[in-house]
């Protein structure tokens, strides 16, 4: 890496992905310099961590316990890399709405947390872990981890794809991920947009239906696009309707048990021309495309990173969405837009968190 300030090439930062199942921690060197090199078109590979760990969150989900677990992993990767010198900023991506920039997790359904001062807990736990860390063989002091910054997971993922993944070269990027829920992230003119209370990009809760008949969403309201297209909602709806007697090849593909039907079965059925699956897609794909179209009208992105476990396992649904999108925004906004799949896979969030932490505190 030759572009940018030479000292940046040695700059360390830690990215953490705290999901409902795994904690992933990775230590990177020189992410800002790598981003600059990629933007300049210089030959530069994908970001490679110099040390990393992945462990199950486990059953102990009290916030202080998870903070202690995460802090131990962060200090272990610093020890493994023999990190010395300046403090190493730590970015933590959490599947949660945040409460401003206070380090407070407002609502993390995967973890069952509400209004948890998780940033402060991690900072305290890191200090304890650093104090008991083993001495480095060189005798030098281990670099101190911190400060700690929390990010919404999909914001961090989108930033990772913008800086070092599928959207390198674009300055205006929208990331939309359809997994169990639907998350979004916005980069405008090269900056992550976090909004007044750090909740920008909540595209999953765009309203597409109103009234008491609208499906309930995990956010407490009704009619959000997530309540139609989010993986959990799609799956529960199909299971409910098949139990109630709806006929679909998805049931055969799931071995005859409605309780085992998942979005992949529905998509395989749709590929066979199954009426139930195609009717379902004819309802939800235009709603999701309208959501995307509204966001595209608002933001005029150059790149739309469209990913997540549901869309990657449901290629027919993806095609229906892309077809419906053609009439969901005008040509003036669709012509300059390139729709891409994510390039960094599971690493996008830790790369994005580590880079954002480095930019703010490196």
Residue 205 binds to Zn ion (criterion: CB under 5 A): yes
Choices 16-24, 62-70, 210-218, 255-263; region in contact with Zn ion by CB under 5 A: 210-218
> Judged by CB, which is closer to Zn ion: 147, or 181?
181
Residue 219 binds to Zn ion (criterion: CB under 5 A): yes
Indicate the pairing of strand 22-29 with strand 12-18.
antiparallel
**Which residue among 163, 217, 253, 306 contacts Zn ion (CB under 5 A)?**
217
> Judged by CB, which is closer to Zn ion: 120, or 219?
219
The DSSP code sequence of 253-282 is HTTT-GGG--HHHHHHHHHTT-HHHHHHHH
Least Å distance between CB 205 and Zn ion?
4
Residue 117 binds to Zn ion (criterion: CB under 5 A): no
Choices 114-122, 140-148, 220-228, 256-264; region in contact with Zn ion by CB under 5 A: 220-228
Least Å distance between CB 150 and Zn ion?
21
**Which residue among 224, 242, 329, 337 contacts Zn ion (CB under 5 A)?**
224
Long-range contacts of 356-360 (CB under 8 A, 24+ apart): 356/91, 356/149, 356/151, 356/156, 356/159, 356/192, 357/13, 357/14, 357/15, 357/89, 357/90, 357/91, 357/149, 358/11, 358/13, 358/28, 358/31, 358/32, 358/89, 358/91, 359/32, 360/89, 360/149
Choices 52-60, 65-73, 104-112, 217-225; region in contact with Zn ion by CB under 5 A: 217-225
> Judged by CB, which is closer to Zn ion: 82, or 215?
215
> Judged by CB, which is closer to Zn ion: 181, or 352?
181
Residue 278 binds to Zn ion (criterion: CB under 5 A): no
Ramachandran sector of residue 269 (left: φ over 0; alpha: ψ -120 to 50; beta: rest)? alpha
**14 within 8 A of 143, measured Cβ to Cβ:** no
As a whole number of angstroms, the distance between CA 144 and CA 283 comes to 52
> Judged by CB, which is closer to Zn ion: 200, or 219?
219
Residue 229 binds to Zn ion (criterion: CB under 5 A): no
Binding residues with Zn ion: total (CB under 5 A):
4
> Judged by CB, which is closer to Zn ion: 89, or 230?
230
Q: Phi and psi dihedrals of 2, rounded to 5?
A: -120, -20
Which residues make up the interface to Zn ion (CB under 5 A)? Answer: 205, 217, 219, 224
């Amino acid at each position: 890496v030759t572009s940018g300030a030479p000292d940046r090439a040695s700059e360390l930062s830690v990215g953490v992905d705290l999901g409902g199942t795994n904690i992933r921690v990775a230590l990177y060197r020189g992410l800002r310099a790598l981003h600059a090199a990629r933007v300049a078109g210089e030959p530069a590979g994908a970001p490679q961590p110099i040390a990393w760990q992945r462990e199950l969150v486990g059953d102990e989900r009290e916030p202080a316990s998870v903070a202690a677990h995460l802090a131990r992993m962060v200090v272990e990767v610093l020890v493994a890399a023999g990190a010395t010198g300046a403090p190493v900023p730590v970015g933590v991506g959490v599947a949660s709405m945040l409460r401003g920039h206070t380090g407070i997790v407002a609502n993390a359904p995967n973890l069952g947390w509400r209004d948890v001062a998780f940033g402060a807990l991690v900072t305290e736990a890191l200090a304890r872990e650093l104090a008991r860390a083993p001495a480095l063989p060189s005798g030098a002091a281990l670099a101190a981890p911190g400060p700690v910054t929390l990010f919404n997971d999909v914001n961090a993922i989108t930033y990772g794809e913008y800086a070092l993944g599928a959207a390198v070269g674009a300055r205006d990027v929208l990331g939309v991920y359809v997994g169990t829920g639907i998350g979004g992230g916005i980069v405008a003119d090269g900056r992550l947009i976090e909004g007044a209370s750090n909740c920008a990009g909540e595209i999953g809760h765009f309203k597409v239906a109103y009234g008491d008949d609208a499906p309930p969403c995990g956010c407490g309201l009704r009619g959000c696009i997530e309540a139609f297209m989010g993986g959990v909602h799609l799956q529960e709806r199909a299971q409910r309707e098949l139990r109630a007697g709806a006929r679909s090849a998805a049931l055969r593909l799931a071995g005859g048990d409605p309780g085992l039907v998942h979005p992949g079965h529905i998509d395989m059925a749709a590929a066979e021309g199954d009426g139930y699956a195609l009717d379902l897609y004819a309802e939800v794909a235009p709603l999701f495309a309208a959501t995307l179209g509204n966001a595209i009208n608002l933001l005029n992105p150059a790149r739309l990173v469209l990913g997540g476990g549901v869309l990657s396992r449901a290629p027919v649904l993806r095609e229906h969405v892309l077809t419906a999108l053609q009439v969901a925004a005008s040509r003036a906004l669709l012509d300059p837009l390139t729709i891409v799949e994510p390039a960094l896979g599971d690493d996008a969030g830790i790369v994005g968190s580590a880079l954002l932490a480095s930019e703010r505190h490196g």
